[in-house]
Chains A and B, each alone.
Chain A
Amino acid sequence: MESIDVLMLCPMISYLEQELQSRYNVLKLWTAQEKSQFIKDHSATIRAIVGDGGHGADAEMIEALPRLEILSSNSVGVDKIDLEKCREKGIRVTYTPDVLTDEVADLAIGLILAVLRRLCESDRYVRSGKWKKGDFKLTTKFTGKTVGIIGLGRIGMAIAKRAEAFNCPICYYSRTEKPDTKYKYYPSVLELASNCQILVVACSLTAETRHIVNREVMNALGPKGVLINIGRGPHVDEPELVSALVEGRLGGAGLDVYEHEPEVPEELFGLENVVLLPHVGTATVETRKAMADLVVGNLEAHFSNKPLLTPLV
């Protein structure tokens, strides 16, 4: 049986690497001395690419692989993939929706609570050995606060459901109003930010949504408002975010993503009203395994001419 060449763009959990290696001939791009040469050397045989949220295929890479049939992304975000090019060339693209929805929504709430209730700062305080009897610090209650969600897709809805259990009124912005929800719709992110206390970015990254949270929006959210980003770094104008936080125009932020990961603006390291996570939205053993199974399952379906499990293109 002919061995199929699969190009892996970056290291992933060992479970996924093993599952791929047991079925295909895996070419690890990150081990190459010179990446474009590596691709040239194998361009006649690569039939599939496995990427993730941070590593996709642009037009150049797609053009360099004439035998490419499918790109299976270990993510639900596909902003790093030139989808138009794939459509043009008839290349299938699969991703991992649904299996990670709950995980990301859980983390959004975890970030809200950590920022509002100053968990990380408190934990640092105790570990410093400085806790004195009678000391207390006022933090902010979560229950009952208005939560505004940018993007009411799968993840946005899951966040809303959880926030409702804390008696939070929910409002949202979406490209179009959703007729079958009871949540309050605002036709612009600016209006949404003016009417909520906690603003959560939960939409996909496209040309239209780049910097959807800008200086104006952050000012509208205000000195008592909190921004939570579990989408993509470029959703937020990062330099503006830093100055809004440092100057106190924005009350706080919980960030899982940044414009230039893994670089994080150092000005944020000294702030107590900020929680900084290293892009761990889906980072649990259970969910990474479920995602991996989808990545492999889609490849298997494709190469045995069965319907793809979770196609995007």
Chain B
Amino acid sequence: MATKDNEVEDHRPLVLIHHLPSFKLPLQDRLITHFRLFDSLASPEASSVRALICVGPTPVTADTLDHLPSLRLVVGSSAGLDHVDLAECRRRGIAVTNSGDANSENVADYAVALLLDVLRRVSAADRFVRSGLWPQMGEYPLGCKLGGKRIGIVGLGSIGSEVAKRLVAFGCTVAYNSRNKKPSVLYPYYANVHDLAVNSDVLIVCCALTNETHHIINKDVLTALGREGFIINVGRGALVDEKELVQFLVQGEIGGAGLDVFENEPNVPKELFALDNVVLSPHLAISTPESFEALNEVIIANLKAFFLSKPLLSPFQQE
């Protein structure tokens, strides 16, 4: 039965998907039931949009914000927000959210995966078997025991805590460095990363990248970690002085490394390709369907809360 066909009013709030050309937002189709989307700063809608979703490491700079005079919320899709000019957002009264705990378990799993791989030479030995060398060469070189290792966690936030919990079950001891000592945590605290490194066999880097933490793992820390020491980075490439790390690895001055992130992704120092005591990963620590589902929920929850003037789910807090 035909009725006077009124246009159904679209009550969906407007949201900008802010993304570099090569980055897609997984599960974007789920968002359109809740929000009206567009993805270009050049669009006329840019002047009225109040919220944006930042896809992956797409930069949000003062220039970006200049195109968005009505913006009041930046929704990040990762735990790290080093690609967002947080000071500028603060200055303009723009709130910022990150992925909260959505990815913490996956990243923690990945940190442990990388550590086991480096110590027990899993990827290197898998290469050895696939090359058909086992029948010819007999035994494969011995690896290192994980149990009893002193783990130093750089940044005991959500991810660092999950890493600690897992490694304790393997018979490791845990200590940490964070900007501030955490009163409810029983693990020993070191006020600076150098001291943590002196007292650790393994450093696991899980902290946020800020001006203060840039190259927090430097020559001094690597020297303190020592020839038998290992480093795992699931934070950001720039937390580590990559040139120095490569030197240490090539010269055999450090035991090994497991790296999911690099200073200039997707470029990875080629000197590392020849080393068997290094495990290289293309920034995949969160990359599971469960992570993207959880991330999607956090993004939608933050946006809904914002448009209903309710408290945000995961406003970015500096630890």
Residues of A within 8 A of B (CB): 11, 13, 102-103, 106-107, 109-111, 113-114, 117-120, 122-127, 129, 131-144, 161-162, 164-167, 261-264, 266, 269, 275-278, 280, 283-288
Contact = CB atoms under 8 A, between A and B. Distances in A.
A113 B112 contact: yes
B85 to A, nearest CB: 21
A57 B140 CA distance: 25
B200 interface: no
B288 A123 contact: no
A275 B142 CA distance: 18
Given A119-B123, A133-B265, A283 B288 contact: no
Nearest to B110: A117
Interface string B111-141: 0111011011111011111101011001110
16 contacts: A106-B147, A107-B120, A110-B113, A114-B116, A123-B280, A126-B280, A129-B270, A138-B287, A140-B288, A143-B109, A164-B169, A269-B130, A277-B129, A278-B134, A280-B121, A284-B144
Nearest to A290: B145
Contact of B106 (A106, A124, A132, A143): A143
A118 B117 CA distance: 11
Contacts of B129: 264, 269, 276-278
A286 B145 contact: yes
Given A134-B20, A139-B288, A114 B113 contact: yes
Contacts of B168: 165
B117 A110 contact: yes
A288 B139 CA distance: 13
Given A133-B265, A164-B169, A280-B140, A127 B284 contact: no
A102 B172 CA distance: 11
Contacts of B270: 129
A126 B281 contact: yes
A116 to B, nearest CB: 8
B122 A114 contact: yes
B113 A119 contact: yes
Given A110-B116, A119-B122, A119-B123, A127 B273 contact: yes
B116 A109 contact: yes
B122 A141 contact: no
Nearest to B260: A122
B118 to A, nearest CB: 10
Contacts of A107: 116, 120
Given A139-B287, A277-B125, A284 B145 contact: yes
Interface string B173-206: 0000000000000000000000000000000000
Nearest to A161: B169
Contact of A122 (B24, B127, B281): B281
Contacts of B284: 117-118, 122, 136-137, 139
A-B residue pairs, 9 tightest by C-beta: A134-B22, A165-B169, A110-B116, A113-B113, A126-B280, A131-B266, A262-B134, A276-B129, A286-B145
Given A106-B170, A139-B288, A285 B113 contact: no
Q: Choose among A119, A261, A262 the residue with the greatest number of B CB atoms under 10 Å from its CB.
A: A119
A11 B126 CA distance: 23
A264 B132 CA distance: 8
B147 A133 contact: no
A119 B117 contact: yes
B266 A284 contact: no
Contacts of B265: 131, 133
B170 A284 contact: no
Contacts of B98: none
Contacts of A278: 125, 128-129, 134, 139-140
B130 A110 contact: no
Contacts of B110: 113, 117
Nearest to B273: A127
A73 to B, nearest CB: 17
A256 B247 CA distance: 33
A136 B56 CA distance: 11
A141 B106 contact: yes
A288 B125 contact: no
Contacts of A166: 105, 109, 166
B287 to A, nearest CB: 5
B266 to A, nearest CB: 4
B291 interface: yes
A162 to B, nearest CB: 5
Contacts of B145: 102-103, 106, 284-287
B169 A117 contact: no
B123 A284 contact: no
A122 B283 CA distance: 9
A283 B289 contact: no
Contacts of A131: 265-266, 268, 282
A287 B117 CA distance: 17
B313 interface: no
Nearest to B105: A143
A37 B289 CA distance: 61
Contacts of A143: 105-106, 108-109
Nearest to A102: B147
B23 interface: yes
A29 to B, nearest CB: 16
B279 to A, nearest CB: 6
A140 B113 CA distance: 13
Interface in B234-278: 265-266, 268, 270, 273
B41 interface: no
